[in-house]
Structure 1
Amino acid sequence: MNKTKDLFITSFALFSLFFGAGNLLLPPLLGYNAGDNWFWVAIGFMITAVVIPIIGILAHAKLQGTLYDFGKKVSPKFSLIYCILIYIIAVAIPSPRTAAATHEIAIHPVFETSPLLTSTIYFALVLVFVLNRSKILSFIGKFLTPLIVIMLLMVIGIGLFSSEMSTSISQFETPMVAGILEGYQTFDAIGAVVVGAVIIISINLRHKGSFEDKKTLIAKSGWIAGLGLFIIYAGLISVGAYYGSEININENLSSDMQRANLLRGISIAALGNFGNTVLSILISLACFTTAIGIIAGTADYFKGLLGNSQLVYVCTAIIACVFGVIVGQLDFHSIIIIAIPVLYFIYPITIVLILLNVLPKQYSTPFVFRAVVIVTFIFSIPDVLGFISPSDSLSKLISHIPLAKHNLGWVLPALLTLVISIFKKKHQA
């Protein structure tokens, strides 16, 4: 296959596997609430929704293994538990969320069907694609992603040119932190370690190039997909900010319906009545490709874990789709609320594993991995408890941890532990 063609198909597929429900719905409302500070919110959002995920793809390019390889330097048992948790979370939250978003925004307003019918048909189609494993990368990269990108650029481009370019006052005290935390909700760091493994296996199925050739292909694809995500996110955030005074999102509604109303308003303002149709297709395609990536990645992992059995792959895919149908009955907002404490727990660990895996070998020893991951885990606990069961004593504790009031109390301890553990290891050597 032509190398340039192969590069762009892989890049487009990677972009599409990342770009799901949250990626489309979260940025416009974030920009709307950010108002005149939309640029700083966008910078924060890019850190957790673009930079960290693309570093995750670079780590996959370096390892060219499975998700298990990300955590094995901590310990084999840790890595096994971490992998199982990640895949359970992926199947339990972001995958059903794609069906909920598709139903609420694209299907129900037109056909008024039940969530059960929508999610059943949706995951039946997902299962068909997942079971045709070898064709996933090519189909998504050649056909679905270009359609998604064209529609997005139409909405953003026409929207920016047709708006009055006026913004409201920001509702955020710390815009960059607000962007960072909202970026959690895209699940893209978790997506990087899950869909990166899908890309690795898909590439191995398609051609038998050398390790270095595959490394180059994966890394370049990551950069191109990251650039695409950056442009689309910045565009959606800025359009949300500039349309703030023109669209009534009805602030009495839940935040998920505000997101839907804002995106629908922008689409109609940019494309007229045709905007509703474009939005429905866009939501459906973006969500569908992400669900395929999540379930294929999960099935791949358990297939490898249990003797490389194709029967395990098929059974895992079916179970994941059935679970998607069940959880997909919840509305988008409910799934986001369930996700928050889970994200506060697993996201920091995922981020440090991604960063540690791209460090040079002399700085990423098992000792460094263990020290940083343990400290990250300990300092992420207050964030989880603070959301589940807030108390005065916990608030006092959090007040003594730098950045903890922003749910980022793990950052400085993890960084400090990284520096100390590297220095100690070098001194011992």
Structure 2
Amino acid sequence: MNIQQKELLITSFALFSLFFGAGNLLLPPLLGYNAGEDWIWVTIGFMITAVVIPIFGILAHARLQGTLYDFGKKVSPTFSFIYCILIYAIAVAIPSPRTAAATHEIAVFPTFGSSPLLTSAIYFSLVLVFVLNRSKILNLIGKFLTPFIVIMLLAVICIGLFSSEYSTGLAQFETPLATGILEGYQTFDAIAAVVVGAVIIISLNFKNMAVEAYGSKRILIRKSGFIAGFGLFIIYAGLISVGAYYGSQISIDAELSNDMQRAKLLRGISIASLGEFGNTVLSVLISLACFTTAIGIIAGTADYFKGLFKDSQKVYVISAILSCVVGVVVGQLDFNSIIIVALPVLLFIYPITIVLILLNVLPEKLATPLVFRAVVITTFIFSIPDVIGFISPMEELDAFVEDIPFSNQSLGWVLPALIAFLICVLWQKRKKSQIKE
């Protein structure tokens, strides 16, 4: 294997592992279980927000080769700065601690019965060690941790599918496609794309990687993005289908909280696939998948604040430590509580992140600063009803937004954002034609 192929493989594995965390493993099986015979439609929706959009995010990073700040600077420098702060604050406060909560509930507590505080403290101490050894992140994750994660995941999925009776339960979703799209929000993969994409770029800039030219890095990052995306697609589709086909074989108490349902179903699938050894496999799998994602989030956050202060290594260390402290504090909450807190935040920030990713992939002649501003402002305005409706439903608000397409599925921002984009593009085209005349 030549050095280019080796770098591609390592980068692809590292990118996959930085994406694949707690939600990515726990959410799909229960989604498939509840989707029943409609699991294919749910899968398609899930792939849109958990695979397609994140890979577009990596493609945007390959093109920009900067930081998260570059994603929003065409709107305005002030907007981009605020957006970056919000994204990194959300990443440190929700998905990062969620990885510790999932590790405790599924891998640690059933075996050792320890407190969540002890688990979080040890967990983020180890994360900090890896983050402070910044130059080794890509190789350590890409060479060693990810291959092990992928092999175990494929074993659970393949054995599970071949050993199931291929019968699904009744569908429980009225709109499976929209449900899959919204459930994809919970993976945080779009946010992960803009955060860990920067981690990959900075890692490639270290001297131990023989990739220096802009064009070479762009090709490497794009190819890695597609490979990682294909891996995510296979794993997600496999986990959803296994959850759907085991619907008639594993009994889940409806009175259990969602996180306990997810844990019980995943444990049942692992044991059915690999016997009692499945418990051990599941514990290791959860721990590794969560651990690599936490590393990516905290390294990305520390990188950003380091860049704000003239590449100060001291700022990098302080940011990493503070992020880990937040992780210890919030990580004591149970997995489902963190998800509940995350939902209104996601309904606000996710649509803006999606449109920024898509606009940064488009040719510059289409995605002008005017288009950026119009689409982002429109998306922001039409996302507000979703957030308010989730926090405190109001009849007056429901009456106002009921005529907006997809608003009942918390996707009322989609069509207005598309219309804003088309109007701006057509207006700019007409203006150029008038100038030429």
TM-score normalised by the shorter chain: which range applies? Answer: over 0.9
What residue in structure 1 maps to residue 345 of structure 2?
342
Q: What aligned pairs does 1:264-343 form with structure 2 within 5 A after superposition? A: 264-343=267-346
Q: Deviation per CA, 1:269-322, whole angstroms, max 9, x where unpaired?
A: 000000000000000000000000000000000000111100000000000000
1:99 deviates by 0.1
Q: Deviation per CA, 1:346-395, whole angstroms, max 9, x where unpaired?
A: 00000000000000010011000000000000000000000111011111
One of 252, 260, 278 as aligned partner of 2:255: 252
TM-score by length of 1: 0.99
One of 207, 210, 224 as aligned partner of 2:227: 224
- SS of the equivalent of 2:303 reads helix
1:250 deviates by 1.4
Q: Does 1:237 align with 2:240?
A: yes
CA distance, structure 2, for counterparts of residue 21 and residue 288 of structure 1: 9
Q: Does 1:411 align with 2:414?
A: yes
What residue in structure 2 maps to residue 142 of structure 1?
143
Aligned amino acid, residue 141 of structure 1: G
Aligned amino acid, residue 123 of structure 1: F
CA distance, structure 1, for counterparts of residue 331 and residue 214 of structure 2: 39
What residue in structure 1 maps to residue 377 of structure 2?
374
TM-score by length of 2: 0.98
Aligned amino acid, residue 247 of structure 1: I
- SS of the equivalent of 1:363 reads coil
CA distance, structure 2, for counterparts of residue 208 and residue 313 of structure 1: 24
Q: Deviation per CA, 1:161-192, whole angstroms, max 9, x where unpaired?
A: 00000001100111110100000000000000
CA distance, structure 1, for counterparts of residue 54 and residue 66 of structure 2: 17
| RMSD between superposed Cα atoms in Å | 0.6
What residue in structure 1 maps to residue 157 of structure 2?
156
CA distance, structure 1, for counterparts of residue 211 and residue 167 of structure 2: 53
What residue in structure 2 maps to residue 108 of structure 1?
109
What residue in structure 1 maps to residue 127 of structure 2?
126
Q: Does 1:90 align with 2:91?
A: yes
CA distance, structure 2, for counterparts of residue 370 and residue 428 of structure 1: 18
Aligned amino acid, residue 119 of structure 1: S
**What percent of counterpart residues are identical?**
75
What residue in structure 2 maps to residue 72 of structure 1?
73
- SS of the equivalent of 2:205 reads helix
One of 342, 361, 364 as aligned partner of 2:364: 361
CA distance, structure 2, for counterparts of residue 221 and residue 155 of structure 1: 25
- SS of the equivalent of 1:361 reads coil
CA distance, structure 2, for counterparts of residue 188 and residue 249 of structure 1: 27
Equivalent residue pairs, number: 429
Poorly superposed stretches of 4+, deviation over 2 Å: 206-209
1:427 deviates by 1.4
1:18 deviates by 0.1
Gapped regions of structure 1 (runs ≥ 5)? none
CA distance, structure 2, for counterparts of residue 47 and residue 226 of structure 1: 11
CA distance, structure 2, for counterparts of residue 332 and residue 316 of structure 1: 24
CA distance, structure 1, for counterparts of residue 10 and residue 388 of structure 2: 43
1:261 deviates by 0.2
1:208 deviates by 4.4
